[in-house]
Amino acid sequence: MPRVVNNHRTFQKTICFKTLIAALPLLMSLTVDAATSGVPLMEQGIQIGDLAPGRAMVWSRSDRPSRMMIEYAYNDQFTNAITIRGPYALEGNDFTARQDLVGLPCGKDVYVKVWFEDLTNTRNKSEPVIGHFHTIGKHDDIRFVWGGDTAGQGWGINESFGGMKIYEAMRKVEPLFFIQSGDNVYSDGPIEKTKPAENNQIWTNLVTPEVSKVAETLDEFRGRYKYNLLDENLRRFNAEVPQIWQWDDHEVVNNWSDSKDLNSDIRYTVKDVPLLIARAAKAFHEYAPLRPHNAEESERIYRKISYGKLLDVFVLDMRSYRGPNTANLQTQESNETVFLGETQLTWLKNELKNSKAVWKVISADMPIGLNISDDFDHNPPQRWEAIANGNNGPAAGRELEIARLLKFIKHKHIKNLVWLTADVHYAAAHYYDPAKAQTKNFTPFWEFVAGPLNAGSFGPNTTDATFGPQVVFFKAPPTGQSNLSPFAGLQFFGEVNIDKKNQALTVDLKDIDGGAVFSKTLPAE
């Protein structure tokens, strides 16, 4: 499928980006001056989030009590700009703040300028940070990227390697938005100054006190997000590409549910998993540029974001409502087989049924048919982490919930549905075929897997035949090798393009340098 690029937008972004690069030495000197003159600092830059028709979230963080200020316009000279007095940034939220921009026109470049005014009588102002994004218009093709797994397995920010340079590769394709599919941070993975890598190489990390151990305190969880934002590639990406965040396990602790037992893990002095979840959730919502849900469930992550007639994105939360990890072989649904939970499942069914968009993308933080163990000491495992249970038989355990969902999708004739996910640290394309499944009452569909973005490379996982997944493509470390560093180049993101004219959806899986390793075009039914 041809790539259609708005040349005017590209020219403006190029000029803006080159101007910012040229100004970096000045900005660095101003930052030093700011630190000594008592003005607020914006060391984490800005983020744009949850872009939707007519609106987008703007996030940033100050280093002291202050108020967020935003100016936005539809040109890079900021003529006829609109200024908004945003929220206060105070200690209770680690000085983070976010503001919803509303009433934005469709199909426009939007330039934002963000700064903070401190809360002293002198009202000292930080140096502003400039960002830029494009609202989706009626005549625009849709392009977005997705992936997950950042700074995992001790592979942090290596400046001599170029930092988290896959974010620069994603920025260069000029996506309208990015889906962060979970494991935004690795709160359970300490990052050391150096780490041995394959081929006798040494990986050198930036380090901070907060990432030197597993996260237990609220400040340590916050420190994980601040650590990632030390990377220049990520900050530049955040200022230009609106994001959709979801979470998985490593934002809290590996393979967690409410029933997780840490008594044998000597790294943790805090053994109460619900307390760790509470602290991790607070840090996640402070640093995520997502639009908060209402008071009904203020920390809800699952949501739908619409992009006009071409696309609806359904963001799932496969972590917060699940039951315990078990052998996953129950023949009837119970509290132990819960994965999405009945409330979220009912919401998803209703939203899919009522969707008028051509394409329905389900953003899942875990794949459906891959066997993912939570018990590496046993073969076969006695506990499973995801949906599959490794028995290749009819739906059982958590598969029962998914079987109900897939049956509903078939019986309601919901068309053009694609699943996107990450989690397993390699790239793959799966075709779920009822003709080859043990549980057959569903319509065929595709699932695409991307990642990691800056973490260890693993895989491939084996498949469970319950829903008939066919591995059409995968790219993973060679047999017998695992946890390869980003040196190995096995870091992957996904790119999706939807053509406005013929409504076809094309998925490209791309490597750390932006080179395509797989492509699949799906015509709209």
Any idea what DSSP says for residue 208?
Answer: -
Whose tokens are 């939220």? That residue is 93
Task: Report CA-CA distances (Å) from 377 to 229, 281, 374, 383, 462.
Answer: 36, 30, 9, 10, 17
Domain count, the chain: 2
Same domain, 447 and 500: yes
Identify the pLDDT of residue 434: 98
Same domain, 152 and 113: no
pLDDT tens per residue, range 253-265 = 999 988 899 999 9
Residue 462 lies in a domain: yes
Query: Which residue spans within 25-126 are E strands per DSSP?
Result: 46-52, 55-61, 66-73, 82-89, 96-102, 109-118
Identify the pLDDT of residue 379: 83
Query: Which residue spans within 349-490 are E strands per DSSP?
Result: 359-363, 417-421, 427-432, 445-449, 469-475
Same domain, 416 and 493: yes
Q: How confident is the model at residue 139 (pLDDT cuts 50, 70, 90)?
A: confident
Residue 238 scores a pLDDT above 60: yes
Residue 264 lies in a domain: yes
Asked which of 115, 134, 153 is the last residue of a domain, the reply is: 134
Residue 1 lies in a domain: no
Identify the pLDDT of residue 377: 78
Before 452, cis peptide (omega within 30)?
Answer: yes
Residue 2 lies in a domain: no
Residue 18 scores a pLDDT above 80: no
Give me the mean pLDDT over the 227-239 stretch: 98
Identify the pLDDT of residue 455: 98
Q: How confident is the model at residue 517 (pLDDT cuts 50, 70, 90)?
A: very high
CA atoms within 13 A on the CB side of 472: 15
Asked which of 79, 113, 134 is the last residue of a domain, the reply is: 134
- Mean pLDDT (the chain) is 93
Mean pLDDT is lowest, of 20-29, 476-485, 498-507, for 20-29
Asked which of 95, 111, 134 is the last residue of a domain, the reply is: 134
Contacts of 428 (CB under 8 A, 6+ apart): 448, 449, 459, 460, 471, 473, 474, 475, 476, 509
Same domain, 182 and 128: no
Same domain, 102 and 157: no
Same domain, 312 and 191: yes
Residue 419 lies in a domain: yes
Give me the mean pLDDT over the 104-132 stretch: 96
Identify the pLDDT of residue 515: 98
Where would I find the H helices in 197-309? 218-228, 232-238, 273-287
pLDDT tens per residue, range 59-98 = 999 999 999 999 999 999 999 999 999 999 999 999 999 9
Residue 19 scores a pLDDT above 90: no
Whose tokens are 């908060």? That residue is 292
Same domain, 450 and 311: yes
Identify the pLDDT of residue 8: 41
Task: Report CA-CA distances (Å) from 140 to 5, 148, 211, 308.
Answer: 9, 26, 42, 10
* Residues in a beta bridge with 195: 203
Percent of the chain with pLDDT over 70: 93
Mean pLDDT is lowest, of 135-149, 309-323, 369-383, for 369-383
> What torsion do the CA atoms of 124, 128, 134, 135 make, to the nearest 10 degrees?
0
Whose tokens are 């459906």? That residue is 368
Same domain, 150 and 115: no
Give the CATH number of the domain where residue 273 resides.
3.60.21.70
Before 380, cis peptide (omega within 30)?
Answer: yes
Contacts of 259 (CB under 8 A, 6+ apart): 273, 323, 324, 325
Identify the pLDDT of residue 31: 46
Give me the mean pLDDT over the 144-151 stretch: 98
Residue 312 lies in a domain: yes
pLDDT tens per residue, range 283-310 = 999 999 999 998 889 899 999 999 999 9
Same domain, 11 and 106: yes
Residue 28 lies in a domain: yes
Which strand (E) or helix (H) includes residue 245?
Answer: strand 243-245
**pTM of the complete model:** 0.92
Same domain, 504 and 419: yes
Whole-number Å distance between alpha carbons of 49 and 55: 10
Contacts of 200 (CB under 8 A, 6+ apart): none
Contacts of 424 (CB under 8 A, 6+ apart): 367, 370, 372, 449, 451, 458, 459, 460, 461
Domain, as residue range, for 78: 7-134
Same domain, 161 and 130: no
Whole-number Å distance between alpha carbons of 278 and 284: 10
pLDDT tens per residue, range 43-64 = 999 999 999 999 999 999 999 9
Give the CATH number of the domain where residue 11 resides.
2.60.40.380
Identify the pLDDT of residue 37: 59
Same domain, 410 and 369: yes
- Residue type, position 9, single letter: R
Residue 309 lies in a domain: yes
